[in-house]
Structure 1
């Protein structure tokens, strides 16, 4: 029996175990001849391959945490329906981690007490930093599928990996978009463009702000000011007043779910319009942002993981993922976080296929270092190639724009569905 690989050619595995392909177009099952047991460190080879899965499914981060978990969960279900890895089922041991303390304690429990030496997660940078710290120091392996903090891969840990793009690539995409579209459209030179960074003040927002400042300076954009705020705020009127007083050409916003909606609503209520309001993933991606705000969401840009109104030729398998999601949860995805985690989980499963299900840091690290996928051959459009710090260098965010209730992809042109437009005071 043959399988279809990432590039569509028919191949036969080196062993007698048969693998199959999920809708994302990846090889998702494994090679035989593994020594590892249920936990990757010995035991019954027929037992499940257990992987810790850290996601905030309660508390203030639950919206995108749940959405992220759903993507990884669908990937696990599909590989199990296809026969698992080397004939063994994948079991994601989910841990709800609503805050940093929970992420730390749950990581210790699942690594030290339960012996799960491979973990995935989390969507939130603060949580990812906490859980991965425990795994890295405790001799386990941690693979992040959604958090973007630059610090995550800059701590010198050998067994920390990330499949999604980091904050620096978000910043680069934002600055490229300003350079290629916004500044010319406004008739301004880059040194004339006035940028205001409005960001929540956790590691997520602060990391993006620092990266943006660096990338902007390299491009010649130096007129930048800052407006940090707490994501827990219930009133952002002072932030809105600051935006009005600064009168920027561009706002680059970094927000979670509720604060993204609150900021946009209070800007509308006060008649504050910015020509280019550019979100950075987070709450500006959620379908609830468009549904809750209605026309107030129109013309808001967002730089984020791959969303669903995108050129299908660049994202093979995306439509199949949508069907799988709808079948499992009886609704459409709330954001691209589920897709990113689906893709990332499948990368992890594919690496485990190369280890024969061995989750030990040594086996996983060797297989991950050699693992590559070409861009444009997965449902996110991303490729995979890990650098010396464990960061995937073949993943990049795109620019989307809310238009009549749909988050349309507008940049780069090869993945776009419509042309971008700036907001005006008359809209």
Structure 2
């Protein structure tokens, strides 16, 4: 069983220290091959690489502290540039590289495709970043997910709107006119479905919903529809390019709703803010994985994670995807260090031993696998762009700033 105190107190800062003072960790004597399957090229490469960096840092720390069962963990990478390549790379990692497990993948569509291959081969597949429902709702016994799912996105968005944003606006939540827009893959469609469900439970007024391909190059018709429907609150589930496109075209048309709440990495990335301009994104909300302006008491180790990231990669983290992949990867590898062996069935069965409370990891999430091998202690954070920084504003115990409204 994973020792919770180990996970909390062994920080990434110790990785740098151990290296500097000459290898205090136990020396590993062999290799444990782990597949790392991410979109490392193509349109999703930025967040794919950011996610992969988090897993790299987890592996580095594990190896500096003796590896897994005394053996060095080696990452064998696969480039999931599209669904077909994700399938092919999963097959290669399993049959040619003979990996013990596959970690990934950020993209929901890629994860769904590749994890099916792993299940058929009875190789454990650990999803650290994709959120679509279907990742863990296909009754696949070898597929696990540590990160929050689509329902967590939607629930946090609606709760933050009802409990925090509407009161700050001085408007009853039921009086707000809500528009849902989303990219049309498993990811966007899953989040939108849950947004409708939670909104209806709260008696909210959804006046329009539109979807679009993430590769779209023009969202002016959607902006016009939002204006025509007098939408007060826009909920967008998106990747980076479509987030940038919507914010730019909304600004160009002078559309200023009372709130824009983004879901996903597109809204949480500094490159997005730079692309649209900080004066445009200021005040925009984002619900996503834990970012870095967060109460460290709620996310112990987050500051050390940032320090180690900068030390390793020479720049600050670009989004919280690296942090979420680090936390999930570290928890799983730590548990494998306690397993009796590294056979596929032992790895699968060992996951029941992970029992990490909320508020004790660098991302603030807990980890406990429940129904369908979904982490039942995964949570999202509510954030807002303020003065060029994405700061946590919800929930209160994790926040470092108050919500600002422009109305």
**TM class by smaller structure:** over 0.9
Tell me if structure 1 keeps the 8 A contact 2:265–2:319: no
CA RMSD of aligned residues (A): 2.0
**What pairs up with 1:93-132 in 2 under 5 angstroms?**
93-132=76-115
Q: Does 1:266 align with 2:249?
A: yes
Alignment of 1:308 onto 2:306: no
The answer to whether structure 1 residue 22 and structure 2 residue 11 are counterparts is yes
Q: Distance in 1 between matches of 2:89 and 2:381?
A: 33
1:196-215 pair list within 5 angstroms: 196-215=179-198
Residue matched to 1:333: 317
2:123 pairs with 1:145: no
Other-structure match for 1:389: 372
Alpha-carbon distance in 2 for matches of 1:279, 1:63: 18
SS at match of 2:216: coil
Looking at structure 1, the residues matched to 6 and 323 of structure 2 have their Cα atoms a distance apart, in angstroms, of: 21
Q: Distance in 1 between matches of 2:7 and 2:313?
A: 32
Q: What residue number does 1:33 align with?
A: none
Query: Is the 1:71–1:342 contact (alpha carbons within 8 Å) kept by the matching residues of 2?
Result: yes
Question: Among residues 324, 342, 358, which one is paired with 1:375 in the alignment?
Answer: 358
Contact 1:22/1:79 (8 A) holds in 2: no
1:310: how far off?
A: 0.6
SS of residue matched to 2:223: helix
Partner of 1:120, secondary structure, is strand
TM-score when normalising by structure 2: 0.92
Contact 1:291 1:405 in 2 (8 A): no
Counterpart Cα distance in 1 of 2:97 and 2:309: 30
Q: How many Å separate the matches in 1 of 2:200 and 2:191?
A: 14
- In the aligned structure 2, how far is the partner of 1:134 from the partner of 1:191? 45
Q: Contact 2:13 / 2:307 at 8 angstroms: preserved in 1?
A: no
Q: Does the CA contact (< 8 Å) of 1:117 and 1:139 recur in 2?
A: no
SS in 1 for 2:5: coil
User: Is the contact made by 2:62 and 2:334 (CA closer than 8 Å) also made in structure 1?
Assistant: no
Residue 208 of structure 2 aligns to a residue in which SS?
A: strand
- Which of 291, 300, 314 is matched with 2:274 structurally? 291
* Distance (whole Å) between structure 2 residues aligned to residue 363 and residue 211 of structure 1: 34
Residue 103 of structure 1 and its aligned partner are, at CA, apart by: 0.5
- Assess if the C-alpha contact under 8 Å between 1:118 and 1:359 holds in 2: no
Matched, 1:7 2:5: yes
Query: Offset of 1:77 from its aligned partner?
Result: 1.3
Q: 5+ residue gaps in structure 2?
A: 15-27
Query: What secondary structure sits across from 1:252 in the alignment?
Result: strand
Q: CA offsets per residue over residues 297-319 of structure 1, 9 Å max, x none?
A: 10110001110011111111111
CA contact (8 A) 1:352 1:359 kept: yes
The equivalent residue for 1:412 is: 395
Q: CA deviation at 1:224?
A: 4.3
Match of 1:159 among 113, 117, 142: 142
CA distance in 2, matches of 1:185, 1:294: 22
Q: Residues 224 and 172 from structure 1, CA distance in 2 versus in 1: closer, same or farther, beyond 3 angstroms?
A: farther
Aligned residue number for residue 84 of structure 1: 67
Matched, 1:353 2:327: no
Cα offset, 1:8, TM superposition: 6.8
Superposition map of 1:224-239 within 5 A:
224-239=207-222
How far did 1:104 drift? 0.7
Question: Any idea what SS the aligned residue of 2:234 has?
Answer: strand
DSSP 3-state at the match of 2:363: coil
Q: Secondary structure of the residue that 1:248 maps to in structure 2? A: coil
Instruction: Report the TM-score, using the length of structure 1 for normalisation.
Output: 0.88
**Cα gap change, 1:409/1:131 in structure 2, threshold over 3 Å: closer, same or farther?**
same
Kindly indicate whether residue 281 of structure 2 is the aligned counterpart of residue 281 of structure 1.
no
Q: Secondary structure of the residue that 1:7 maps to in structure 2?
A: helix
- 8 Å Cα contact 2:76-2:97 kept in structure 1: no
> Aligned pair in 2 of structure 1 residues 8, 345: CA closer, same or farther (>3 Å)?
closer
Partner of 1:34: none
- Once residues 176 and 361 of structure 1 are traced to their aligned partners in structure 2, the CA distance between those partners, rounded to angstroms, is 39
Query: How far apart, in 2, do the equivalents of 1:284 and 1:82 lie?
Result: 35
- 2: CA distance between counterparts of 1:350 and 1:158? 20
Task: Please list the CA deviations of residues 77-123 of structure 1 after superposition, one character each: whole Å capped at 9, or x if unmatched.
Answer: 12112221221000111111111111011111112333224111011
Give how far 1:9 is off: 11
Is the Cα–Cα contact under 8 Å of residues 227 and 242 in structure 1 kept in the other structure? no
